[in-house]
Structure 1
Amino acid sequence: MELNRRTLIAGAAAAGVTTALSGTAHAAGTAHATGGRKPVKSHFGTLADGTEVHSWSLQNGGTRLKVLSYGGIVQSLEIPDRRGRYANVSLGFDNLADYVASSPFFGALIGRYGNRIGKGRFTLDGKEYQLSVNDGDNSLHGGAQGFDKRVWDVEPFTKGTDVGLYLRYTSADGEMGYPGTLRTKVTYTLTRHGDWRIDYEATTDKATVCNLTSHVYYNLAGEGSGSVYDHELTIAASRYTPVDSGLIPTGELARVAGTPFDFRRSKTVGEDIRVAHQQVLYGQGLDHNWVLDKGLTARPEHIATLRDPSSGRTMRIATTEPGLQFYSGNFLDGTLVGTGGTVYRQGDGLCLETQHFPDSPNQPAFPSTVLRPGQVYRSATVHSFG
């Protein structure tokens, strides 16, 4: 399974997206611009150890993106509505101190392992590894000091009509308990169509596990505008992975039919979010992995569409990955003040994290996340806005 996984995705980083997806046009006015601007670097803050953190501003095809060297964080993502009016559609903070002290992974690159690993333990090639535990008994999103809390090396680029950033980070052998020195490169690209593409790449010098993703909280009505429960969502998945009370998959691939997890046809995020279903109770809302019908693919294929009726903004997601974690912002509790000065409450943003499945290292029936020396981890996800 490991060999099949790496062979299938060997070309993903260089692969294109279908014409229908890439050609999505923005609504009006300046949104039709196709000339990308050279990324602009600015000082964002300084960490306690004196390390400077910078922001990089990119613009192309009507999409505006601001990225931090700390955590590879998407600090803002601006897209126009049906009248061409811009809004930041990603939740976050306006200062570095809040990202360091209290961020629930707002906008961050996640690694080495996106999502949860049960008890923070797994066995690989007969050896058990104990990871950093930061979510009850479990390891979440790489542990207490995951990739979201590291300063990445950032290099801007312009390539034809594309603009973007190369982000690089080397994770030492044993960091957060993971074996192997993992060299990671993530590429953020804004295309002339305004698509935001993420390409992930990693190599290791020792057998390890790897599952990288992005943790942007979206609100297509605009950050700080209130609940996303009236957003309309479709997910091309007939199954999902049920969890136990600790949100660790049971190993079952359950049918979505007749459950709150059926998004095969468009429905609002809030339609079934308060249904008395045991899985909804465990997550205090939706916080589960959908098993995508397309499976693992060499090129990004469309798997989800999110739409805000009030603004007309739409986001389509294509990915090479076999899973999608849909998290409905259940643990936003009114204690965080966002970029625009508004308090974030439950349901004020949602995450759509393309991924391999949670706890895969302990679930032999799930697609493998093992990476070995000589192999290259590659994954790609494309966000198209309209």
Structure 2
Amino acid sequence: MQIETQNTVNNWKLYTLTNQHNMSVSVLDYGGIITEINVPDRHNSIENVVLGFKSHADYKQNPNFLGAIVGRVAGRIQGASFTIEDQSYSLEFNEGENHLHGGASGFHQVVWAASPFQTKDTVGVTLTHTSADGEGGYPGKLVVTVTYTLTNSNELIVDYAAISDQTTAMTLTNHSYFNLSGDMARTIHDHHVTMASDEFVELDNALIPTGNKLAVTNTPFDFRNGRKIADGIDSTFPQNILVSHGYDHYFILNPNQAEAIRVKDEISGRVMTIKTNQPGVVMYTANGLTEGLELADGLSKRYDGVCFETQASPASLHHVGFPTVLLEAHVPYDKQTVFSFSIVR
């Protein structure tokens, strides 16, 4: 187990965590951005399985949120406003008339205080940030800690902790784009996804939840027995077409699942499983990924990666019956998502 620290552009620091199986994870203190995750394939070729810029300087403008910690609220907030206890709060309009991923002062664009650590079986880095009361329009002074831990079992554990001195809206996620083919060898069309979810959230033309939860049965959103992402990309189902052919939807995860999501790339043999205590996940298949970005493994194009944004639902701010994003004053926020990597021969 080892950790290396490297100074990079803009006085940012890059922390590279490596375990005894030569799996490595690289994290910037800027935005808490995961720039690389290198894991072996069935032939023991170690390759990068997330999208990242060739130059770290390009993360300064990161409209696709590559690899970043997203908050205070991950996702879209309708009308860039919400109400808590009859008090209205106005946020930045940064996607039409709505608010996306915390706005310009979101957590993806701040330098976090970083502390690397190492134990006998783990190596990691703890990131801390204090968001002032009123920052971005959100109430409450919020102290946030995100810890990335790499284990010798090829697990990347992401722990989110926070506490606010006022009731506020908050749900954090990581916005890594995964591509298990390795070094962007292929698009994600043939990635096979299994997900324990009976319902997903319907979107309107502005990609805002309508307030309806739809059953996955007999739709391209039914991943309970597994299917390829291409099924949704090529589908004529209205909700797939609505998001520019693919997925950008919140799936409500079935409770008490040991493994919420399993992703497999048949050619490389790589498998990624996801466990979380979050109530749901946005699966985004990079339908709107900016094309022509200079990434570490080539120029970007649509469907180069898939995000699994484990989180609560911003729809809860305007509709009943959704997993809430409200964090009560002085009540600790404590969430975890575990990404595990393995190989099928």
**In structure 1, how many angstroms separate the alpha carbons of the residues matched to 2:118 and 2:181?**
30
Q: Does 1:139 align with 2:99?
A: yes
**In structure 1, how many angstroms separate the alpha carbons of the residues matched to 2:315 and 2:329?**
22
> Could you list the runs of 4 or more consecutive aligned residues of structure 1 that deviate by over 3 angstroms after TM superposition?
none
What residue ranges of structure 2 are gaps of 5+ in the alignment?
A: none
Cross-structure match for 2:9: 45
Q: Does 1:67 align with 2:27?
A: yes
What residue ranges of structure 1 are gaps of 5+ in the alignment?
A: 1-35, 47-51
Q: Does 1:259 align with 2:219?
A: yes
Task: Give 1:309's aligned amino acid.
Answer: E
User: Deviation digits for residues 289-337 of structure 1, max 9, x if unmatched?
Assistant: 001111xx6xx83100001111000000000011011000101242311
**Residue 101 (structure 1) shift:** 2.1
Give TM-score, length-normalised by structure 2: 0.96
Q: What secondary structure does 1:180 align onto?
A: coil
Cα RMSD, aligned residues only: 1.3
Q: What secondary structure does 2:239 align onto?
A: helix
The counterpart of 1:368, out of the listed 324, 331, 342, is 324
Alignment of 1:1-12 (within 5 A): none
Q: Does 1:58 align with 2:17?
A: yes
Q: What secondary structure does 1:97 align onto?
A: helix
**In structure 1, how many angstroms separate the alpha carbons of the residues matched to 2:232 and 2:149?**
35
CA contact (8 A) 2:211 2:315 kept: no
**In structure 1, how many angstroms separate the alpha carbons of the residues matched to 2:328 and 2:313?**
19
Q: Which moved more, 1:271-280 or 1:316-325?
A: 271-280
**In structure 2, how many angstroms separate the alpha carbons of the residues matched to 1:223 and 1:365?**
41
Q: Does 1:111 align with 2:71?
A: yes
**Residue 103 (structure 1) shift:** 4.1
Q: What secondary structure does 1:359 align onto?
A: helix
**Residue 102 (structure 1) shift:** 4.0
Q: What secondary structure does 2:79 align onto?
A: helix
Task: Give 1:202's aligned amino acid.
Answer: A
Q: Does 1:76 align with 2:36?
A: yes
Identity of aligned residues (%): 38
Task: Give 1:305's aligned amino acid.
Answer: R
Cross-structure match for 1:288: 249
User: Deviation digits for residues 269-291 of structure 1, max 9, x if unmatched?
Assistant: 10232211221122112100001
**In structure 2, how many angstroms separate the alpha carbons of the residues matched to 1:137 and 1:233?**
33
Q: Does 1:347 align with 2:303?
A: yes
CA contact (8 A) 2:24 2:37 kept: yes
**In structure 1, how many angstroms separate the alpha carbons of the residues matched to 2:147 and 2:86?**
34
**In structure 1, how many angstroms separate the alpha carbons of the residues matched to 2:214 and 2:20?**
40
CA contact (8 A) 1:248 1:358 kept: no
**In structure 1, how many angstroms separate the alpha carbons of the residues matched to 2:177 and 2:305?**
5
**In structure 2, how many angstroms separate the alpha carbons of the residues matched to 1:103 and 1:96?**
14
Alignment of 1:230-245 (within 5 A): 230-245=190-205
Cross-structure match for 2:141: 181
Give TM-score, length-normalised by structure 1: 0.86
Q: What secondary structure does 2:249 align onto?
A: strand
Cα distance 1:68–1:271, how it changes in 2: closer, same or farther (>3 A)?
Answer: same
Q: How many residues align?
A: 340
Q: Does 1:380 align with 2:330?
A: no
Q: What secondary structure does 2:231 align onto?
A: coil
